A and B are shown apart, each in its own frame.
Chain A
Amino acid sequence: MTPNPEFVQVQNLKKYFPVRKGLLQRVTDHVRAVDDVSFTVREGETLGMVGESGCGKTTVGRTMLRLVEPTDGRVIFDGQDVFRLSGASLKSMRRNMQIIFQDPYASLDPRMPIGDSVMEGLNIHNVGEPRQRFEIMLDTLKKVGLEDYHARRYPHEFSGGQRQRIGIARALALRPKFIVCDEPVSALDVSIQSQVLNILKDLQSEFGLTYLFIAHNLSVVEHISDRVAVMYLGKMVELTNRDELFSNPLHPYTRALMSAIPVPDPNLRRERIILKGDVPSPLNPPKGCRFHPRCPIAESICAQQEPEFRQASPDHWVACWKA
């Protein structure tokens, strides 16, 4: 079976959050968290997604799983339109797409033994007999490097790294095909980060998983991803394979991000491209290219017209007039 190159298709995805004001809580405006984003995830790959906080990367991940209802657009997962499903068909779809949350301290129920947490999904989806669910749970814990006796313990008895592995086990228990990893290592110490990254890699090759890996740390993304998407203010600005992105970034925002990556070597202190100002508010994004007020190479056209997300070379998409 050849991997499906269009395993998950995201088409013109939009998510606007209403802003309410006043006594009557009337909707006065919208935060355009995700504004017309399209991309595909290939079966078996890891698609990294990077951007500064507030650029909408988490919202993309959550709307794809319908944890947040989209404003517009389509997501086609393995041939099915996710946004059209409801009831039983939505539930069965959700078995195949899971998420690992950012904060391992907040994402586990403190009053539930972790074995029950991991089994929760199996119970909801009525997988096999209770005995089998228990076996699957123990087996999944083993896959992430935990032991049988851990199942009865509570989250507070575990360290951050262990909790994140429990989070992975929770996502993995239903044997999904697609997992959204939302900043899975950002809250962990470096010495533990690498362990979690290695586990994610091993599980991917064992179960043929597809990942959408959301992070703001480019070195981590580079380490784990096959392709990388860069987001800025609700838009995707560049998408290409890892080697191409890191050797030949086309978008000026990507270049600025690259130059900001710290390298643990004092002899390599480089001059960095420093962007002016802060990310503008997604409430009222700049006209034309959203990056133009901070862009070092902006021209007049950049302020007037929005650049299209176009294919610059066979495996390289970019949204920039100058690229």
Chain B
Amino acid sequence: MADKKLLRVEDLILYFRAGKGVVQAVDNVHFELDYNRAVVILGESGCGKSSLAKAILRLLPRNVHAYSGKIYLEDRDVMTLDEEQYRQNIRWAAMSLVPQAAMNALNPVLRVGEQVAEPAIIHMGVSKQEAMEMAAKMFQHVGVSVDFLNRYPFELSGGMRQRVAIAMALVTSPSLVILDEPTSALDVLTQANIFNVLKRLKKELGLSFILITHDIATSSELADDVAVMYAGQIVETSDAARFFEQPLHPYSQKLMASVPRLSEQRELEFIVGQPPSLVDPPTGCRFAARCPKRYEKCSEEPPVFEKDGRKVKCWLHQ
């Protein structure tokens, strides 16, 4: 099973139509994910990381301009499936999503237990009673007392609602869960709690995660692999250990240098300027305008260079 990957994404493109033109939110994205691994997708706001999640799960808004590429889930090309097959076999059955601001993603007028049970009824066709039992089991997995099954979302704290949203993504026992900014709105202590839950679930249920976040420090808790996204493209992929030690792409380096760390007194760095507009991205390397190491070559678009199993889209690593 050595080269069988859980997920392979190739040439994935997702463009939106907007008032000003076509937004190239996800542009030629490649990455792979092994069984029982967690990949973190890092990037600033507006770099297209949430759109990537939507593209993988085919949760598309109406204004899609272009959507193409290949997504292999356990060597099965899911892009060729029609909508109904996709809904029955892939979405939630094989991979699920914990949406951004999951705290507010729950229906306020339904009991949380029913909401967690719902995907099991819809995607697995089990009876309501069975589904409620499965929901109760999931509550235990994420560490929420079973007494809360019959409560409404407003009776739960932010951290508990987040756990419920995770339970909702797990109830159909998918092999891959995409988490979109799961802890951004939570306090540090609650964040730590949620990450402990995720680590445990990964071990107990053999899950794989795609964790989408801008919080570099928190993401290192869970990451096995890292992919850095900038202006719709993935500019670096690496295993977490080497990435956090020494990022290769100048953008990753700058990003890491701007994180304040404990017991370290140094002037923090920041990245001058702003990310480019995705409506009309610059030709050549998209980071060139903000890059401290740019040279003549950067006006051409860099290919992806491979270096000891790490991939980086930058001419410096030619």
Contacts and interface: CB of A to CB of B under 8 A. Distances in A.
B261 interface: yes
A278 interface: yes
B220 A194 contact: no
Contacts of B158: 53
A192 B270 contact: yes
B214 A189 contact: yes
Given A190-B214, A195-B270, A266-B223, A259 B258 contact: no
Contacts of A216: 187-188
Nearest to A294: B189
Interface in B209-244: 214-218, 220-221, 223, 240-241, 244
Nearest to A259: B192
Interface of B: 44-45, 157-160, 187-193, 196, 214-218, 220-221, 223, 240-241, 244-245, 254-256, 258-263, 267-271, 274
B270 A217 contact: no
Q: Which of B193, B215, B274 has the most CB of A within 10 A?
A: B274
A263 B45 contact: no
Nearest to A216: B187
Given A191-B254, A272-B192, A220 B260 contact: yes
A91 interface: no
Given A198-B267, A216-B187, A262-B191, 9 more contacts: A160-B45, A191-B255, A194-B260, A216-B188, A246-B263, A263-B262, A269-B220, A274-B196, A275-B189
Report the interface size class on chain A: 35 or more
B45 A189 contact: yes
Given A216-B187, A257-B188, A269-B221, A264 B261 contact: yes
A256 interface: yes
Contacts of A194: 258-260, 268-270
A217 B187 CA distance: 8
B220 A264 contact: yes
26 contacts: A52-B187, A53-B187, A189-B45, A190-B44, A190-B214, A191-B270, A193-B270, A194-B258, A194-B268, A194-B270, A217-B188, A220-B260, A222-B262, A246-B263, A260-B192, A261-B262, A262-B217, A263-B262, A264-B217, A264-B220, A264-B261, A266-B220, A267-B241, A272-B192, A278-B157, A278-B160
A159 interface: yes
Interface string A228-268: 00000000000000000010000000001101111111110
B307 to A, nearest CB: 20
B260 A222 contact: yes
A164 B193 CA distance: 31
Given A263-B217, A264-B217, A269-B221, A191 B271 contact: yes
A223 B244 contact: no
A197 interface: yes
A305 interface: no
Contact of B268 (A53, A159, A223): A223
Contacts of B44: 189-191
Contacts of A295: none
A53 B259 CA distance: 22
A283 interface: no
Nearest to B143: A274
Nearest to B188: A260
